[in-house]
Copies of this chain bind each other. A is one copy, B any other.
Amino acid sequence: MGFRARYTGLIEKYRDRLPVHDDTRIISLGEGNTPLVKLHNLPNLLQKDVDIYVKYEGSNPTGSFKDRGMTMAVTKAVEVGSQAIICASTGNTSAAAAAYAARAGIRAFVLIPEGKIALGKLAQAFMYGATVLQIRGNFDQGMSLVKKVAETAPVTIVNSINPYRLQGQKTASFEVVEALGFAPDYHCLPVGNAGNISAYWMGYCEYYKDGVTNNKPKMLGYQAEGAAPFLQGAPVDYPETVATAIRIGNPQSWNKALAAQQESGGWFDKLSDEKILEAQKMLAQHEGIFCEPASAASVGGAMRDICSGKILEGSRVVCTLTGNGLKDPDTAIAQCHSVKQVAIAAELPAVEKAILDYMK
């Protein structure tokens, strides 16, 4: 047939909108191009006339949206000859950094909070061969250390304070607009370090400015109750939440995220851990979509604001599901403690009885 259409990642796809040169060596794992799935059952349960879509970033190569930024950050680090990258992380950034460093053939140092990282993310950092520094402290302390270390050590920071990260991440907005044919009315995101909401807004504004779309969404940022600096109006010293990916008290992209909220006419709000986990379970059990706890903050927040009428009926809403549910199997299983976990004999009567019991 002759044509070939191999998808080779978001830098190749959006080359003219990203800061790369013709001869830049692209470090890619085929990130981006993630599904935008329309929810069918949750809107029915809510009995509200809204279109809700989820941008399922768990389909990225390392299972989170971080890959979008990391392909850019590592590509640019390699371009200037960097031999090592470093980041602080609640787990997803370290997985992405480790994977793209492996692909590039350079070294990755990752600082993670000891004992506060989901199992899957720990497995990833190890398997991809990163040098894992587990610190007795939280993400914010790790972030502060990374910034100091990079002043003298020959390492490139790949946290979202690296400007190339947000450049890569803005492509998610491009994909949403292309999938729908327009920008949504509301775009809902979990907010931790606040880079992603900033990047999405950058992407929407760019497509709007260039006339690719003639509308922009209100940006809605949802935080966990125990880690909600935007609601408090100041950093939180000891952030705590089951949603480890947004267990961050001192967001590095504070000003950018605040601007996104204000310019778009959106808002920040917070959810209890209970409500976050409830939304995670609803998505899995009613839509067949399994995201990590932090991701569910976007849908949990959207559902609440739809029910209250704050999000208007007739609206088109996109929620970003930032990470794969498989990142955190322990929290998922702990949530299902009520499930009957009985082992039965491998015999026909036992299986028939079990099925009949459940069919009742």
Contact = CB atoms under 8 A, between A and B. Distances in A.
B126 A29 contact: no
Contacts of A153: 352, 355-356
Most buried by B among A109, A148, A346: A346
Contact of A288 (B4, B103, B123, B178): B103
Interface stretch (A160-168, A186-194, A299-307, A326-334): A326-334
Given A127-B325, A346-B145, A341 B134 contact: yes
A351 B134 contact: no
A211 B2 CA distance: 11
Number of this chain's copies in the complex: 2
Interface stretch (A16-24, A60-68, A237-245, A267-275): A60-68
A218 interface: no
Contacts of A281: 127
Contact of A287 (B102, B344, B355): B102
A155 B123 contact: no
A234 interface: no
A1 interface: yes
Contacts of A287: 102-103
Nearest to A124: B290
Most buried by B among A6, A129, A152: A6
Interface string A92-111: 00000011111101010101
